Chain A
Amino acid sequence: MNNNPYMPFKARLVGTKFESEDRSLKTFEFEIIDDEIKYLPGQFCEVGIYGKGEAPFGIATSPTEGKRLKFTINKAGLVTSFLHESNKGAIFGIRGPLGNYYPVEQFKGHNVLIVGGGFAFTTLRSLLIYLLDHREEYKNIEVIYGAREPGLLMYRDELFEWEKREDLNIHLTVDKEFPGWSGNVGFVPQVLERVAPSSKDTYAVVCGPPVMIKFTLPVLKTLDFKSDRVYTSLEKRMKCGIGKCGRCNIGHVYICKDGPVFSLQELEHLPPDI
């Protein structure tokens, strides 16, 4: 972090890659110029385009992968549309790392269940790679990840590599039958119900669109996951990223500063203002 949290690090765009077949998702790889951002999985950055503004994105890389940062970004608003049109070599301003992270220290010596949906898999990728790079420190790792259709699954090359690994159980699913798809079919909560991972000694991390979260949490409850063992990462409109500007509050906490990672137990004590 700079001394002044409002001043961005200058960063160069060094690579881009389409992540979905419909070309709405793109991964951007940045190199921080003459500096480094030290972070942990789950943290985010404000990626700024000089003259257009800043927008918050979860870091998709794991700190174990090196100094470069990757963000996978959906084309939606002003900043993201401009990003999608940017070329390699362009200079951006990045502020970070911001927010808290998945409690990877606390997970040590336990099983970890990762449940993700749609394009919310970015910080989950960071977490998964971090866990795999410290594989011996964690027990079973189980991943359930789904998207509307196969073309919308992110990081596909990696997903298929992970499927081959012995030290990792990964269940990929798509919402409905699709030509050429031989994997699971069904919504993420249904697959979770089918896989029924044991809650004993296990931490769960859930990230996805609100509707997926809504139907996944009851399944975790029937599987007897306690609310202090289930973590999720929240999103809201953000500006400053450091808990000053006000807009991302839920009750007295600010998602940008006190989050984005919360346990269900923490959320139970906050007003339903999401």
Chain B
Amino acid sequence: MDDIKGKLKSMLRNGEIDGVLGFVEQKYPLKNYPLFAQTEDDINKLSNSLFNILNIGTYIRRIKDFKKIAVLVRGCEERTINLLCAEHQIDRDKLFLIGLPCKGALDVYTVEKEYNGKIDEIEEKDMSIVIKGNKGEKEILLNKVISSVCTSCVRKETPTVDLQTQSLNENGEDLIFPSVKEIEEKNYKDRWKFFKNQFEKCTRCYACREVCPMCYCESCFVDSNDPVWVEPGYSIEDIISFHLIKIFHMAGRCVNCGACERACPEGIRLSYLTSKITKDLIADYDYISGKTVQEKPMFGEYKLNDKGDFIL
């Protein structure tokens, strides 16, 4: 990270970039926050860690009036930016992307549940984290506390960036989506029970929508009063309608970064939905969203050999 910072600082000094967008480590360590660093001091604050739980793509559109900015991206964020470029939301020529290695993002709720006490400090090790707090010291293996979407990440590498910091060895492993498998093995009744339990917790704070880099509509269908797509209030039908319509809007545009799930204050397992569409798109269309800037979103394009058996 220090090499990259040195390079970025010199780019800033030379006027090649207006600033660097990345995440900053926070005092209380479970959630890092984004910063648009425009000074060398600020660049020093940037970090790449398990606590970068959001998607940096959400913040690019907030920076106005710039010639060129550098963005620190992990695999999912790189693909997000490719998609945003393909949808003409940002101009790829005005970005300088730096690819970062990624071990996944922590699932805050699992961490809290695993420790079950007041956490003071978390130390990041190669394959584990060490938590210190009022319940003493506890080491937890990473694969236990990493977001479930990260364990089935479709591409951790960042082949399309301008500055690589990791070697590119496309892994040939078969992707397993444990959450999808878990649901698919359930019968209809149990599935309904599972999702009902999840969505009953929803308070409609829309954190999932707001942290999503691809949910950039100026006005959201859920806020429309004419026509009313989703009624006010908290009946389960309406909550599920919101989440399902949202996920349909995301099909082919979702990179399965899991920011929505990690942002949800109620701990709703939204990745069960995002992983399902990701898995189905790979299975049915061999499509991974955001692989390149040129590629259009899945449903933004029509190919003659597209599968059509779902059309009645």
Contacts and interface: CB of A to CB of B under 8 A. Distances in A.
A contacting B, Cβ–Cβ less than 8 Å: yes
Nearest to A81: B226
A104 interface: no
Contacts of A77: 225-226
A253 interface: no
Interface residues of B, number: 2
Closest 5 CB pairs of A and B: A78-B226, A78-B225, A53-B225, A77-B226, A77-B225
Interface of A: 53, 77-78, 81
Contacts of A81: 226
A53 B225 CA distance: 10
Contacts of B226: 77-78, 81
User: Interface centre among A53, A77, A78, A81, by most B CB within 10 Å?
Assistant: A78
B149 to A, nearest CB: 36
A77 B225 CA distance: 9
Interface in B86-145: none
Contacts, number: 6
A192 B209 CA distance: 50
B173 to A, nearest CB: 52
A78 B225 CA distance: 7
6 contacts: A53-B225, A77-B225, A77-B226, A78-B225, A78-B226, A81-B226
A185 B226 CA distance: 39
Contacts of A78: 225-226
Contacts of A53: 225
A78 B227 CA distance: 9
A53 B228 CA distance: 12
Nearest to B224: A78
A245 B131 CA distance: 42
A81 B226 CA distance: 11
A9 B254 CA distance: 49
A77 B226 CA distance: 9
A213 to B, nearest CB: 28
Contacts of B225: 53, 77-78
A257 B226 CA distance: 28
Nearest to A82: B226
A27 B226 CA distance: 23
Interface string B224-236: 0110000000000
B236 to A, nearest CB: 22
A255 B225 CA distance: 24
A53 B231 CA distance: 13
A53 B226 CA distance: 12
A157 B226 CA distance: 35
B61 to A, nearest CB: 25
A24 B225 CA distance: 21
A31 B43 CA distance: 67
A146 B96 CA distance: 54
A195 B226 CA distance: 45
B226 to A, nearest CB: 4
Nearest to B225: A78
A70 to B, nearest CB: 26
B225 to A, nearest CB: 5
A77 B224 CA distance: 11
A78 B224 CA distance: 10
Nearest to B226: A78
A224 to B, nearest CB: 43
A147 B300 CA distance: 47
A127 B242 CA distance: 47
Nearest to B227: A78
B222 to A, nearest CB: 15
Nearest to A79: B225
A166 B294 CA distance: 75
B219 to A, nearest CB: 13
A12 to B, nearest CB: 25
A189 B226 CA distance: 38
